[in-house]
Chains A and B, each alone.
Chain A
Amino acid sequence: MHSSHVMEAEAALIARVLGGDSNAFYDLVRPYERAIYMAAYAILGNEADAEEVSQEAVLKAYTNLARFRAEAKFSTWLIQITINEARMRLRKDRRKLYESLDDAPQDQEGDYTPRDFADWREIPSETLQRKELRQALARALASLAPKYREVFVLRDVDKLSIAQTAKMLGITESSVKTRLLRARLQMRDALAPGVDGSWTTGREEYKKVRPW
């Protein structure tokens, strides 16, 4: 995904920043604004905190740039800093800490059963433009428990590998897979009825298919 061409360009930018051209740092970070914001949001579940943590993470990355080792991707390094900052923020906020501890026992829960069997073969392009779809996606993401949201965002939004996601969150690859399944099925359940029904009313191919 990350071509060696990109890595070379980034290495050149990093060398410029370290050589005193601090403006090159903007170009280095800009492609990953969304990735770091989403990672912070996944952990914190709150837009204002996610933005603040993104800013802190970028400043920290700048300060520590000399410690960046070229065997890692810059994006991975930056996302890892963001995750660490977001978790520090959580720890500072005791109330949220207890909330996330309350979530923990759910890890032992059993299989997730899909609730909806709406037929959803393809997404008509005009549906993607619909505000309802974007709002429903945002609501669905917000409704995921943090430990599912973290994995879902790192893997499916930020497009990290299963191994990278596991490493960043400090969990096993098998936990990543289990949580990813749960997150994806829950996201699908939250979206399928709308895609099947209300957003595409009148479209023959999206008739409701509800067996029970």
Chain B
Amino acid sequence: MVIEIPCEHVWREISNYLDGEVTPELRAQMDQHFRGCRHCLAVLDGTRNIVALVGDEQPFPLPQGFGERLYSKLREHLR
């Protein structure tokens, strides 16, 4: 028998859940909650997507010419 937990509790732990930083008991409670709560499931999916997006897709570009300027600075320094 898994004890039910409220949405607020789930939101507080959603980031820890994604990082595997919750106890097995809490994970079971959250899994049960997600099965019955579409809102929290949407928050979970969206948060997971954010983590995947910024981690795997490199969406934040370096400024144009960053590498060239960095290595020309370095070349000056090494001279």
Residues 139-197 (chain A) with a chain B CB within 8 angstroms: 141, 152, 156-157, 159, 162, 177, 180-181, 184-185, 187-188, 191-192, 195
| B50 x A187 contact (CB < 8 A) | yes
Q: Find the A residue at minimum CB distance from B11.
A: A114
CA A184 – CA B50 in complex, angstroms? 7
Residues of A108-134 contacting chain B, CB below 8 A? 111-114, 117-123, 128, 133-134
Contact pattern, A 13-43, Cβ under 8 Å of B = 1, otherwise 0:
0000000001001100110011001100100
Name the interface size band of chain A. 35 or more
B60 and A137 form a contact (CB under 8 A):
yes
Determine the chain B residues whose CB is within 8 A of the CB of A25 once the complex forms.
Answer: 74, 78
Is there contact, CB below 8 Å, between A122 and B74?
no
Task: Indicate with 1 or 0, residue by residue over B57-79, a CB within 8 angstroms of chain A CB atoms.
Answer: 11111110011011101100110
- Identify 8 residue pairs between A and B in the complex whose beta-carbon atoms are under 8 Å apart, listed by A's number: A25-B78, A62-B77, A111-B12, A119-B42, A123-B52, A159-B55, A184-B15, A192-B42
Residues of A within 8 A of B (CB): 22, 25-26, 29-30, 33-34, 37-38, 41, 47, 51, 54-55, 58-59, 62, 111-114, 117-123, 128, 133-134, 137-138, 141, 152, 156-157, 159, 162, 177, 180-181, 184-185, 187-188, 191-192, 195, 209, 211
Extra contacts, 18 of them, besides A34-B58, A138-B60, A157-B60 (Cβ < 8 A), are A30-B67, A33-B66, A51-B63, A51-B69, A59-B74, A113-B8, A117-B39, A119-B38, A120-B45, A120-B49, A122-B49, A123-B49, A123-B53, A128-B53, A156-B51, A177-B21, A180-B15, A188-B49
